């Protein structure tokens, strides 16, 4: 039992999605819980209760009240696909995937071989996550062990939750980014030993993509997954038609892109595969059966011209989906913006899926928690979960402030947050009740 002296009751408008809105139309209506005058009771880093403020105040009269009215509390955002070395190349527009990699991403990733450079980038990257309300992220590390260790160390100091791993490749990139299977195995083992399960850190086995990983390197990934049954797996799949064709040329025995990873036992419930814009129906069926998650990155898909995300086909097949920003192919760290972009892309896509505010909040929070196997710990405000939350408050005289003062209901308010709220509205970000990104605000 948590002592009353440690309890805080946060008073604000509250939104969370403890249920999956994609299950059915009825589920979409019931997924969102909102409280116009809400209370979030927390103690010892955990959620004790979430509901109507006056009710919770009567039930817990000794709790210390923080009056945050005029703002909004949502669960900490969860980014399921983002590249740490690429923060400094954001805005490199005008190219498709493979040319963008060659001209922008890979030269910058090669600079991570300088440990001082990597540590400076790690600080910028972790700060940007917190400043945009992201409390948990699945991150592509660097191709260099020291740079990846620097990311883990910086994340640990910040208090954020993070899963990451050494990016492993042995062909078709720049030579300085290649490892041998033996060196990749040794470096990965050491990183797992030093960081996996330490505090809020997790390890993810991370081949860049099938194009840059030989069968011998994919065998290394298989070995690591078997030796460490609680690590995660992340990679890319079916992002760009040229990439897909090249993968099938390199693996002529594979009937499709997903089959390359399947042969090495890498597609399962611990797996998060980014993009999947060009899947076959059979790939979707197999993804659903495996319980792997697809990380949908709509800003990147648009910026690189990679294609429409077939969300309706994923939903109909029962494939789990979450959101990723895909920095730096994407356009920034904001998962709220990513949700808005998902909404707009589905409005335009042939056969698009009609997304509402509850879908967007679920994709940005609980869906990401489920993808990382953390749904019992984070993702919403159910009692017993970690008190990871974002306090949003619109700046005075901003368009969001005007909408908030005149919104015609909770759905409109939540839609306005996805439409208008950016880093300027993020006032406080907490993980287990402790601030990881404070900003001055009126209590």
Q: What is the pLDDT of residues 115-133, one digit of tens each?
A: 999 999 999 999 999 999 9
> Rounded to the nearest 5°, which phi and psi values hold at 54?
-60, -40
pLDDT confidence of residue 342: 98
Mean pLDDT of 372-388: 98
Answer whether 0.85 is exceeded by the pTM. yes
Q: What is the pLDDT of residues 149-164, one digit of tens each?
A: 999 999 999 999 999 9
Does the structure show a pLDDT above 60 at 20? yes
Ranges assigned E (strand) in 92-225: 134-140, 161-165, 167-168, 201-207
Does the structure show a pLDDT above 80 at 354? yes
Ranges assigned E (strand) in 7-63: 7-16, 33-43, 46-52
What is d(CA 408, CA 417) in angstroms, rounded to the nearest whole number? 14
What's the DSSP call for residue 242? Answer: H
CB 167 within 8 A of CB 143: yes
pLDDT confidence of residue 6: 82
pLDDT confidence of residue 4: 35
Give me the numbers of helices (H) and strands (E) for the chain, helices first please: 18, 16
Q: What is the pLDDT of residues 212-221, one digit of tens each?
A: 999 999 999 9
Mean pLDDT of 246-264: 98
pLDDT band at 2 (very low <50, low <70, confident <90, very high): very low
């Amino acid at each position: 039992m948590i002592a009353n002296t440690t309890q805080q009751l946060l008073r604000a408008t509250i939104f969370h999605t403890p249920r999956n809105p994609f299950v059915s139309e009825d589920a979409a209506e019931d997924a969102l819980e909102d409280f116009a005058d809400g209370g979030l009771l927390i103690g010892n880093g955990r959620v004790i209760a979430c509901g109507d403020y006056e009710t919770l105040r009567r039930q817990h009269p000794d709790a210390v009240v923080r009056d945050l009215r005029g703002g909004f509390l949502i669960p900490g955002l969860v980014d399921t696909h983002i590249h740490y070395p690429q923060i400094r190349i954001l805005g490199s527009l005008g190219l498709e995937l493979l040319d963008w990699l060659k001209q922008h991403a890979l030269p910058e990733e090669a600079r991570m071989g300088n440990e001082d450079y990597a540590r400076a980038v790690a600080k910028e990257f972790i700060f940007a996550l917190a400043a945009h309300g992201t409390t948990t992220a699945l991150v592509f590390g660097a191709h260099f062990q020291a740079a990846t260790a620097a990311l883990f160390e910086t994340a640990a100091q910040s208090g954020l939750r993070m899963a990451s791993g050494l990016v492993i490749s042995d062909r078709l990139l720049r030579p300085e980014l290649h490892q041998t299977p033996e060196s990749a195995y040794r470096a990965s083992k050491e990183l797992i030993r030093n960081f996996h399960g330490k505090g809020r850190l997790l390890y993810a086995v991370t081949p860049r993509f099938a194009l840059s990983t030989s069968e011998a390197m994919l065998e290394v990934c298989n070995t690591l997954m078997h030796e460490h049954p609680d690590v995660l797996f992340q990679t890319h799949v079916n992002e760009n038609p040229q990439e897909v064709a090249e993968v099938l040329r390199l693996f002529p025995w594979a009937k499709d892109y997903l089959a390359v990873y399947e042969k090495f036992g890498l597609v399962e419930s611990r797996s998060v595969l980014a993009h999947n814009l060009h899947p076959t129906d059979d790939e979707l069926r197999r993804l659903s059966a495996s319980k792997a998650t697809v990380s949908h990155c709509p800003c990147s898909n648009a910026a690189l011209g990679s294609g429409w995300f077939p969300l309706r086909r994923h939903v109909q097949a029962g494939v789990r989906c979450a959101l990723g920003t895909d920095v730096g192919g994407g356009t920034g760290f904001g998962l709220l913006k990513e949700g808005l972009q998902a909404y707009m892309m589905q409005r335009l896509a042939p056969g698009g899926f009609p997304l509402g505010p509850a879908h967007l909040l679920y994709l940005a929070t609980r869906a990401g928690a489920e993808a990382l196997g953390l749904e019992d710990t984070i993702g919403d405000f159910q009692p017993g979960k970690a008190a990871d939350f974002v306090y949003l408050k619109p700046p005075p005289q901003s368009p969001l402030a005007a909408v908030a003062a005149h919104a015609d209901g909770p759905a409109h308010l939540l839609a306005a947050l996805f439409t208008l709220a950016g880093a300027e509205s993020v006032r406080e970000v907490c993980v287990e009740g402790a601030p990881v990104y404070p900003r001055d605000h009126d209590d």
